[in-house]
Amino acid sequence: GQSLEQPSEVTAVEGAIVQINCTYQTSGFYGLSWYQQHDGGAPTFLSYNALDGLEETGRFSSFLSRSDSYGYLLLQELQMKDSASYFCAVRSDTGRRALTFGSGTRLQVQP
């Protein structure tokens, strides 16, 4: 089976930096993805890590440590529009294309 754990809720202020952690347990591992979802909206792809290290895309960065089965999403210079739910997701093996999602972290950005 597969399971992912991430905090249910995080609160931060505008302009700050926030880190959302994700730990996973899978029978195989092919990569860790992050998706953003605003209330009532569709999940939107943010980033993907297949190898250890940091991937940076603008204000968002994502990190992966395969040996620790751990990753995080780092959001810098927080803006009010970043208030949303953030999901980590794994693809567990090459034969299975579907993603297994965590339960999501609800980020609330305060002024």
- The footprint of another protein (CB under 8 A) covers 30-31, 33, 35, 41-45, 48, 50, 87, 89, 91, 96-104
Nearer to another protein, 27 or 111 (CB): 27
Supply the minimum distance, in Å, between the C-beta of residue 14 and another protein. 25
Nearer to another protein, 17 or 24 (CB): 24
In order of 14, 78, 93, the CA distances from 102 in angstroms are 25, 22, 17
